[in-house]
Amino acid sequence: QKMDILLVGPSKSGKTSIQRVVFKKLSPHESFFLPPTMSVETLTVENNPNVQFTIKDFPGNKEFDAEADRAILEQTGAIIYVFDAQIGDIEESCGKLKDIIAEASKVNEKIYYEVFVHKVDSDLYQNDDQKMEVYNDFQREIRNELKEADINVNITFYLTSIYDHTIFDALSKIVQKLFPFVEHLIEMLNSLHTSCGVEKAFIFDIISKIFIATDSSPVDITHYEICSELIDVLIDMSCIYGKDNLKFDEESSTTIKLKKGDNADDEAGNTYLYLKEVDEYLVLVCLIGEEEFQKKHLINYNINLLKQSLKEIFAKK
């Protein structure tokens, strides 16, 4: 059964743009011309049979009611409130979010609540301090609202923009919360990290570029960007020259040597990007140092173990 992710928030806050840019590959610049959402738009993400969920994009004037919207809320895994950091009114938005949480929590106590402090790419936010100021202001206001209403829920906040990779990173972290098996994937990637010296490892849905798991080391956004761009190159090459477009199989793999140091003769500074298919439309992308990559047979052996474990987890699911 697919879990639903609800996109809510004021009109023109960027909800539809997020959905179209991430899941329908709309250019961020083209999203400027999207009309306001007048009714619920539903998009099902089902590239892999074991990683499926539905995005529901609600109009800005949507007000939730515990009884009238019971069927929707019972199926909801996460509610994402999108706040327009350029023109949004923090006090008004926090009041609306409080009302949504109050109604939703009456029906489903397992819902995750997420806030995108969105559109922080504008001239209003030219440095990180300005971004953190609006981030902290929203966080402070909503927590005060919930405390006064005696509502006790956890909310996760993200600074996002459709013009960089922050929106993909935020959605990846939310999607991971919906699938219990992700904890096992993290353990397997940690094992790859320790046994093979892999610097960073992601499991990506190659169509959306959402990563459904990564190892426990902190996510550096530049690592995500490099891995994401590798997938872009692969998709472009496959669409242009491939016989079956995006048809990957167990033999599919790609290796790219990245130059880390300025010295062209400094092989020790090299890092390898290594991609291997692990399941239908799911790929493992690793960053591996020069020395560790010399033990490629050990890396492949452990990746094969990971693939087998992944099949067993999906079979139990």
Give the residue with greater pLDDT, 236 vs 146.
146
CB distance 205 to 266 below 8 Å: no
Res. 88: pLDDT tops 90: no
Q: What angle do CA 49, 172, 298 make, to 5 degrees?
A: 75
pLDDT in tens, 124-135: 788 889 999 999
Q: What is the pLDDT of residue 208?
A: 92
Res. 316: pLDDT tops 90: no
For the entire predicted model, the pTM comes to 0.91
Model confidence at 87, in pLDDT bands (50, 70, 90)?
confident
**Taking residues 119-144, what's their average pLDDT?**
90
CA distance 93 to 163: 23
CB distance 263 to 269 below 8 Å: yes
Q: What is the pLDDT of residue 261?
A: 56
Res. 268: pLDDT tops 70: no
Range in 22-31, 187-196, 235-244, 300-309 the model is least confident about: 235-244
